[in-house]
């Protein structure tokens, strides 16, 4: 045994380690998550440190039972990868794509006499370090390094104060991972059986979907109301003009949007005066040109304080508002900034700033803005994070002093610089003096009608000089924020020069955007800000939600999923219950709650049925037919003695159901747009499609105009009793409403034989396809040039087209021009390409979503798709290059 140990010791004593020992150095292996982070740290740590990357987690739960080690594959819980029968022990495996990296790390460890784990300081980072120890089994001392910025000072400080791996943080991460696996892997199969294959459920994602669906339900239940008021242009004694709005008539207030019930459209307070158009016009006529007396002129000072420095959530929200960045893209940019040493750690709930950061900001404020912009004492921001171990610093520029955005213009990409500039300004502004100003209110009365005008003056801009939330140009925003009123006193007389009636319509609650959904989840305490980008990506990928002008619109499948979970598993999508889960995970990380006890209570129950028994009881109880239909409107909206209208989730998409009638529902219509009246129009259209538009004089068969999954088409014949039918697609440029029986008959002439190929003898034909007309000879096809009519092409022209190399011909045609791009300055066009319709701004091309017609595309839609495509290309570093195969010489 002693000889065996001696051999093992000799084997581990590598040549590199012996060489280093000869120089009196002690090799230290530092492991971080990413190669970028490793490269940045290597700039500060030379010999004797070796820096390697783990490439994220080096092991995880198996994705399926077949990925488990052989001894576990037959276990009933193998599909979970968690032994739920014996203390919820996870079965970890090293994925195939990580085996090579693990071997590399093991080899590097053989040359080291100390292992330093420098992964991120949150739960995930702690768990990565723990997994590294479990897999590498180091026989040398192990230390945990923690730093929140990758700067020389921070790294040296971490080396001076290492610690051990925090087991509580690891258990909290492990409990979260197992909880999410139990939730997702047990609830998702139920969705596959009852709704549709390929769906998924999740502890946070299902609640996020419910939030979006609930907001859409509010919009569907919303009833708009119209109200009128008056806008006056007033002339003060000084000759200055100001605007005022009617607020009351004879003591009765004029309502605003908030005074109407969103579900009935009726006034909440009958004491208010609701003007209609005739009354508003008559009142305007009566007051126009009259003299009004000032009855109120007051001025009150106000103070505005700066917002705290960025957390993960607020950074995502502000980047979305200002730049239109998605949560995922913001985090990718921030990750690169952090790993390259430009900002502090970007996954944080804390608004705390280190003393050196505050000092750096204060020095910058005094030198760049002047001493009057510097408060007497530093500002301290309190965080509401319960887990003190995870209360890192806020997101701020790294180092001391902060690098100015101007100094990084040649170093960072355009979007990296924009995000860094945002972080820099917010950090500096949070330590600046308050903004001070005055708010003015003036009321004038004429003939019982009272008009009000408000103004604001900024006396001292304070922090607004550096940063205005939601705006890119602080100076321009400061000017916009000021509304000056002329000096007026009570009793002064002003002239109502013009008085115009104004109509207003109440608006439904706005849909969630990525920014507002992130804010809602954070306010409810659901999930962690570091996971929001992944959650939003998941619900978009699963088609629970689509984007429409930056808004998140739920699909009908999302409605069905919410119905199932709300009716049969209400706790799982209850906002307070889900937030409580996060509190309990925090309690585990603080050592106040045992992770196995928590998982056992969640899965098996404790005085109430846990997830496992609940699923067993519900699987036979859930009626898939009822779950998959969503009622549209209210019974009273359809009409007396009429069946209700439903949307039914079908195998091939949503269908409308009205009694025994069925009709396909277009996928591009948003749920709140589908009222009973709109639904009836689809049934009327379907009935018209059952009526022929004409009869073919040659065959005597009826001709129908119908709509399919790929657009409008013509059908000759009924197809009844096995009768053969002929179909032809409507080519681009022919609208269904413009189609006459004569034009329809012309289209049935295709495919048309033009003659025979002089060399092969095969027929040359002209066809109509969903992407336009084309000629065909054998297997060869060529699209007709734009503007060339298929009825006019000759055999000679067709042969000329067929003779051209196919690779040089592309089915590209401009369908529409939407307007100029603010990014490139070139026109934004909707094009018909070889692989379908797309939009382009001259530099970037973006494919249209499958459920969007080229006729429905707006400039806003196109700019959003182009921005998202440009972001994806920026992340990958460059556009894809198509490499063509070439024959080898010889």
CA distance to 349, 487, 686, per residue, from 707 (Å): 52, 66, 9
CA 289 from chain centre, in angstroms, equals 52
Using CA atoms, how far residue 669 sits from 402, 445, 554, 666, in Å, is 49, 48, 11, 6
Query: 205-221 and 529-541 helices cross at what angle (nearest 10)?
Result: 70
What's the rounded Cα separation, in Å, for the pair 558 and 76? 30
Contact 211, 521 (CB under 8 A): yes
CA atoms within 13 A on the CB side of 121: 24
Give the helix/strand (H/E) hosting 245.
strand 241-249
Q: Where are the alpha helices (DSSP H) in 93-151?
A: 96-110, 123-136
Inter-CA distances, 878 with 335, 420, 870, 871, Å: 19, 21, 10, 11
Q: Which residues of 84-96 are buried (b: 16+ CB within 10 A; e: fewer)?
A: beeebebbbbbee
Which residue has tokens 């091939």? Answer: 652
Residue 348: half-sphere exposure toward Cβ, Cα within 13 Å: 29
Distances (CA, A) of 682 to 217, 656, 662, 676, 707: 21, 8, 10, 10, 11
DSSP 147: -
Q: List b or e across 2-29, with b for residues whose CB sees 16 or more CB atoms inside 10 angstroms.
A: eeeeeeeeeeeebeebeebeeeeeebbb
Angstrom distance (rounded) from CA 556 to CA 671: 7
Strand partners, 504: 227
**Distance, first Cα to last Cα, the chain:** 64
Rounded to an integer, what distance in angstroms lies between the CA atom of residue 495 and that of residue 233? Answer: 8
- Cα separation, 784 vs 766, in Å, equals 9
Query: Tokens 């070889």 sit at which residue?
Result: 834
DSSP string computed for 35-60: HHHHHHHHTT--TTEEEEE--S-S-B
- Alpha carbons 3 and 526: distance in angstroms, whole number: 58
Give the count of alpha carbons within 13 A of 668, CB side only. 13
Query: H helices of 399-528, where?
Result: 414-429, 474-481, 514-524
* Nearest of 96, 116, 210, 208 to residue 158 by alpha carbon: 116
Closest to 421 in 3D by CA, of 359, 467, 368, 356: 467
DSSP character at residue 619: T
How many Å apart are CA 16 and CA 275, to the nearest integer?
88
Q: 561-591 b/e with 16+ CB inside 10 Å = b?
A: bbbbbeebbeebbebeebbebbebbbbbbee
Rounded to 5 degrees, φ, ψ at 634 are -115, 160
User: Active-site residue numbers?
Assistant: 345
Whole-angstrom distance, CA of residue 485 vs CA of residue 244: 11
Dig out the tokens for 20 from the structure: 């280093």
């Amino acid at each position: 045994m002693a000889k065996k140990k001696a051999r093992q010791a000799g084997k581990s004593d590598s040549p590199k380690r012996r060489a280093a020992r000869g120089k009196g150095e002690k090799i230290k292996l530092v492991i971080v998550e990413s190669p970028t982070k490793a490269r940045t740290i290597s700039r500060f740590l030379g010999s004797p440190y070796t820096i390697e990357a783990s490439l994220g987690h080096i092991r995880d739960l198996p994705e399926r039972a077949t990925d488990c080690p052989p001894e576990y594959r037959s276990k009933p819980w193998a599909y979970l990868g968690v032994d739920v029968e014996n203390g919820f022990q996870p079965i970890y495996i090293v994925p195939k794509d990580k085996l090579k990296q693990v071997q590399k790390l093991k080899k590097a460890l053989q040359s080291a006499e100390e292992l330093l784990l420098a992964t991120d300081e949150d739960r995930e980072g702690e768990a990565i370090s723990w997994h590294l120890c479990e897999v590498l089994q180091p026989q040398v001392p192990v230390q945990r390094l923690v730093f929140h910025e990758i700067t020389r000072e921070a790294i040296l400080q971490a080396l001076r104060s290492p610690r051990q791996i925090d087991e509580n943080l690891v258990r909290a991460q492990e409990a979260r991972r197992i909880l999410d696996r139990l939730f997702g892997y047990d609830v998702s199969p139920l969705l596959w059986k009852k709704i549709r294959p390929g769906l998924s459920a999740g502890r946070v994602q299902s609640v996020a979907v419910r939030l979006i669906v609930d907001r859409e339900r509010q919009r569907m239940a919303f009833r708009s109301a119209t109200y009128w008021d008056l806008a006056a242009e007033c002339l003060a004694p000084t000759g200055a003009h100001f605007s005022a709005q009617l607020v009351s008539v004879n003591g009765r207030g004029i309502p605003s949007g908030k005074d109407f019930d969103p579900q009935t459209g009726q006034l909440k307070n009958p004491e208010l005066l609701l003007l209609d158009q005739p009354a508003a016009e008559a009142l305007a006529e009566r007051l126009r040109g009259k003299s009004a007396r000032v009855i109120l002129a007051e001025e009150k000072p106000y103070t505005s304080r700066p917002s705290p420095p960025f957390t993960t959530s607020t950074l995502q929200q502000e980047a979305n508002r200002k730049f239109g960045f998605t949560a995922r893209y913001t985090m990718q940019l921030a990750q690169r900034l952090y790993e390259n040493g430009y900002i502090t750690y970007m996954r944080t709930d804390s608004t705390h700033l280190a003393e050196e950061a505050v000092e750096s900001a204060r020095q910058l404020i005094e030198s760049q803005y002047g001493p009057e912009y510097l408060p007497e004492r530093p500002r301290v921001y309190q965080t509401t994070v319960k887990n003190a171990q995870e209360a890192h610093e806020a997101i701020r520029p790294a180092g001391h002093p902060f690098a100015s955005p101007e100094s990084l213009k040649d170093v960072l990409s355009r979007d990296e610089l924009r995000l860094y500039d945002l972080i820099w300004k917010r950090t500096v502004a949070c330590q600046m003096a308050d903004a001070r100003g005055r708010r003015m209110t003036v009321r004038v009365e004429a003939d019982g009608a009272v008009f009000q005008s408000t103004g604001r003056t900024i006396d001292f801009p304070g922090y607004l000089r550096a940063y205005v939330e939601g705006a890119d140009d602080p100076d321009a925003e400061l000017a916009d924020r000021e509304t000056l009123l002329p000096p007026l006193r009570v009793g002064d007389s002003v002239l109502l020069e013009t008085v115009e009636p104004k109509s207003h319509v109440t608006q439904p609650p706005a849909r969630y955007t990525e920014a507002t959904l992130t804010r809602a989840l954070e306010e409810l305490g659901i999930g962690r800000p570091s996971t929001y980008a992944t959650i939003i990506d998941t619900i978009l990928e699963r088609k629970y939600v689509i984007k429409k002008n930056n808004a998140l619109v739920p699909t009908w499948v999302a409605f069905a999923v919410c119905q199932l979970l709300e009716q049969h598993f209400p706790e799982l999508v209850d906002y307070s219950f889900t937030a409580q889960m996060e509190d309990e995970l925090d309690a585990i990380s603080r050592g106040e709650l045992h992770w196995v006890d928590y998982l056992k209570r969640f899965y098996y129950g404790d005085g109430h049925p846990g997830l496992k028994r609940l699923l067993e009881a519900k699987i036979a109880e859930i009626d898939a037919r009822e779950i998959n239909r969503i009622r549209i409107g209210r019974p009273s909206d359809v009409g007396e003695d009429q069946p209700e209208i439903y949307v039914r989730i079908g195998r091939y998409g949503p269908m409308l159901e009205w009694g025994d009638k069925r009709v396909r529902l277009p996928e591009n219509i948003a749920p709140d747009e589908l009222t009973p009246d709109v639904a009836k129009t689809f049934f009327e259209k379907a009935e018209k499609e059952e009526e022929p538009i004409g009869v073919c004089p040659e065959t005597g068969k009826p001709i129908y105009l119908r709509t399919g999954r790929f657009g409008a088409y013509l059908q000759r014949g009924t197809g009844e009793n096995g009768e053969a039918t002929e179909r032809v697609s409507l080519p681009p440029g022919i609208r269904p409403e413009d189609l006459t029986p004569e034009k329809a008959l012309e289209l049935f002439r295709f495919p048309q034989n033009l003659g025979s190929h002089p060399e092969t003898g095969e027929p040359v034909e002209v066809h109509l396809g969903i992407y336009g007309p084309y000629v065909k000879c054998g297997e060869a096809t060529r699209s007709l040039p734009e503007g060339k009519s298929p009825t006019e092409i000759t055999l000679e022209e067709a042969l000329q087209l067929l003779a051209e190399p196919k690779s040089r011909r592309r089915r590209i045609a401009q369908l529409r021009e939407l307007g100029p791009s603010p990014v490139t300055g070139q026109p934004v066009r909707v094009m018909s390409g070889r692989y379908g319709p797309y939009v382009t701004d001259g530099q970037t091309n973006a494919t249209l979503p499958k459920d969007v017609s080229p006729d429905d595309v707006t400039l806003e839609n196109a700019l959003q798709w182009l921005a998202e495509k440009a972001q994806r290309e920026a992340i990958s570093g460059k556009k894809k290059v198509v490499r063509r195969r070439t024959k080898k010489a010889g």
